[in-house]
Structure 1
Amino acid sequence: MTALPDWMLTLPEEGVTAEDYDRMPEEICRRIEILDGSIIVSPSATPRHNRIARLLANALEQVAPAPWQVTTDVDLRLSDVPLNNRRPDILVFSGDSNILPVRPHQVLLTVEIMSKGSVSADRLDKPAEYSVAGIPHFWRIEQEDAGLVAYTYRLETAAYTPVGKHADRLRTDEPFPVEVDLDALG
């Protein structure tokens, strides 16, 4: 049995605080998310998952109007107390790209690429958290046997409303006009 790292053994009983997290090395932060102060360890993404994220982020970056910019796998601080820190696969946000974490008021769109180990989180938990935080748009990319399927959502009142289900080609005007060949991503 593998021993737990020292940093996990010395966590405060009340959970990880924003200050605790901000002091952690980046190599640890890249592998975890924090939900209500509790650490959620994420397995490494597959090369296919990373390829989909990179190519989709590149496509979004080409059409994102100013002041929006696109990034992958960075901290999104949903709340400080209790600490809720997610790392969406793709973020479309505005603001200084050197200042982390990104805050919800800066975000236009979050994208999650669903993996076998993240089905419940990507279909239920994360959309609920992002909508409560007021993020206007959410997309989920599912890796199905027949290829990729993109589900797009818009925030209405306090929850996301489905806007579209896209197979083969993601074509939408929300949050800005974009067309992506899903088959080329996978």
Structure 2
Amino acid sequence: MTAPPEWMRPPRPEGWFAEDLDRLPEAPRHTELIDGALVFRMSPQRVWHARVVTALTTALTGQAPEGVEVDREVTIRLDARNRPEPDILVNTAPVDFKRTWFAPEDVLLAVEVTSPESEHRDRTVKLRKYAEAGVRHYWLVEEEDDRPVAHVYELDEPTRTYVPAGIFRGTLALRVPFPITIDLDSLLRTTR
């Protein structure tokens, strides 16, 4: 077994901090920081995941009101030791093309599309961490019989936990964080 590359060694005994992610050009794409530990997405993404993320990004962008932006694969700096990377985030921050992270108060919605590798983190760790940081809305999109199913959560401010707002199959229709209607079954339509 070979020693890990030097860049993988934490810069201090306490581990990694949020700002360290911006100083790791050698790190694989989609590196996240969870509780001071680097988390790498090492397995290749499936076409199902890629198409759902792309189609949802397009649908949300087309329905977002003025002043609301939709980005994908950018981290949220939840605190000094946590910078997870949702598949999609909807935000109200001023546009800055050099930005590498968003603050939780700027994020209206974080969307995770599960994959076998991320399923546990998306369902438990990220669900809890996004809520505790104050991210107002969270969608967990899962695969059921090859179709996307959206589990929608809304933040309960007093408890800083998410409450289920619905499980959507076929059509997702919501009034918050802005009026949204998405035909979930059409997200995977092919041209054939």
**Aligned partner (choices 147, 161, 166) of residue 159 of structure 1:** 161
Residue of structure 1 in register with 2:79 after alignment: 79
2:112 equivalent to 1:112: yes
Counterpart amino acid of residue 107 in structure 1: V
Q: What's the secondary structure of 2:177's corresponding residue?
A: coil
Relative to structure 1, is the Cα distance of residues 61 and 28 closer, same or farther in structure 2, using a 3 angstrom cutoff?
Answer: same
1:84 Cα deviation from its structure 2 partner: 0.5
Residue of structure 2 in register with 1:177 after alignment: 179
Q: What's the secondary structure of 2:105's corresponding residue?
A: helix
Q: What 5-or-longer segments of structure 1 have no aligned partner? A: none
Query: 2:22, 2:173 → 1: CA distance?
Result: 38
Query: 1:178, 1:168 → 2: CA distance?
Result: 14
Query: 1:17, 1:131 → 2: CA distance?
Result: 20
Q: Does the CA-based 8 Å contact 2:10-2:16 persist in structure 1?
A: no
1:28 Cα deviation from its structure 2 partner: 2.1
Query: 1:137, 1:2 → 2: CA distance?
Result: 43
Counterpart amino acid of residue 36 in structure 2: G
1:41 Cα deviation from its structure 2 partner: 1.5
**Aligned partner (choices 168, 171, 174) of residue 170 of structure 2:** 168
Query: 1:144, 1:13 → 2: CA distance?
Result: 43
1:75 Cα deviation from its structure 2 partner: 1.5
1:167 Cα deviation from its structure 2 partner: 0.7
Relative to structure 1, is the Cα distance of residues 103 and 169 closer, same or farther in structure 2, using a 3 angstrom cutoff?
Answer: same
Query: 1:29, 1:65 → 2: CA distance?
Result: 34
Per the normalisation by structure 1, the TM-score is 0.90
Relative to structure 1, is the Cα distance of residues 145 and 102 closer, same or farther in structure 2, using a 3 angstrom cutoff?
Answer: same
Query: 1:110, 1:56 → 2: CA distance?
Result: 12
Per the normalisation by structure 2, the TM-score is 0.87
**Which segments of structure 1 move beyond 6 Å, counting only runs of 4 or more?**
none
1:91 Cα deviation from its structure 2 partner: 0.3
2:38 equivalent to 1:36: no
Q: What 5-or-longer segments of structure 2 have no aligned partner? A: none
Counterpart amino acid of residue 69 in structure 2: Q
Relative to structure 1, is the Cα distance of residues 42 and 13 closer, same or farther in structure 2, using a 3 angstrom cutoff?
Answer: same
Identity of aligned residues (%): 38
Relative to structure 1, is the Cα distance of residues 38 and 151 closer, same or farther in structure 2, using a 3 angstrom cutoff?
Answer: same
Q: May I ask how many residue pairs the two structures share in their alignment?
A: 183
